[in-house]
Structure 1
């Protein structure tokens, strides 16, 4: 299962905080798949077939700080454990366009990750892709910053990094 963390898509689709959603949408588009709303999972779902492996895609349609509700409901329904879920999210501590793959326990202050960890109630590491969005100069401007769209230059860097990262993920899935 792959999850792209986001705030409600319609209202926040183009913001920095919804970069995880953009990643998952780009992956689905590559495989000519669309999303359907599934209220029982509190989000939008799709499937992709990569080298005979079915990958369930999820974009929560909840606010970021309760996105675990969506992730947990889908995972429980399909009996997917947390360490079999790749979570894609924005990362303030990386420059725009930098992507970092991690397999860890912590949330590094990210409220979406914090909620997922709390709902699964497991002290296990799980895979994630952190997509850099940069950090505002003034710490008190973080909320405004993440809920605003990236600049044109940042978008170019982020889009390129998403494409390259998807290529790597596809190769990893292919080799497993």
Structure 2
């Protein structure tokens, strides 16, 4: 069983913001697998469950807002007894160029509050799939205003292309073929 967590903020006002790239990816993946989402108040998350090539997958979008994402992830991990190496957290990364995709196991949070929350409650030993959102060109933007801001049309098209690449190669991730996945991105 694998847990795929998309990080983001709930609410329509955050729908197409840079910080919600994780939500966008898991929405796209779950849609491509024909899964539907259910709100689980106990887990404090929206959850979609399915099977890919005989592997059970649980997709999660925490309802706790970004800074408290670890609460929902811990609840799901505890309930389903999911091992850390079977967790993939998908999130935006301001330190990667727009649309760049990277995956790694463990590491620091890079100042990302969603990762900080998960690290605090679960430790750092889980997979992370990072989608680059770049830094603001205008230095007058605060980081929080930038990540909570909406994509331009060109930026969104670039991110959508990255999401499609992840989706097209997702079975490699689901089967733990990380090095093969890295060659596709």
Q: TM-score, normalised by structure 2?
A: 0.88
Name 1:41's counterpart in structure 2: 43
**Mapping 1:123-162, distance limit 5 Å:** 124-137=124-137, 138=139, 141-162=142-163
Say if 1:139 and 1:94 are closer, same or farther in 2 by CA, change over 3 A: farther
Q: SS where residue 56 of structure 1 aligns?
A: strand
In 2, distance between residues paired with 1:105 and 1:146?
21
For 1:18, the equivalent position in structure 2 comes to 20
Are the aligned partners of 1:50 and 1:174 in contact in 2 as well (CA < 8 Å)? no
Aligned residues: 174
CA 1:16 to 1:175, structure 2 compared with 1: closer, same or farther past 3 Å? closer
- What SS does the aligned partner of 1:40 have? coil
In the alignment, which residue of structure 2 is the partner of 1:50? 52
1:88 alignment counterpart: 90
Residue 174 of structure 1, CA deviation: 4.6
Alignment match, 2:111: 109
Q: What's the offset of the Cα at 1:127?
A: 0.5
User: Which range moved further: 27-36 or 162-171?
Assistant: 162-171
Q: Which runs of 5+ in 2 are unaligned?
A: 178-185
Deviations 1:19-51 (A, max 9, x none): 000000000000111111111111100012110
Measured on the aligned residues, the alpha-carbon RMSD in Å equals 1.6
SS at match of 1:156: helix
Uncovered stretches (5+) of structure 1, i.e. residues with no partner: none
TM-score normalized by the length of structure 1: 0.93
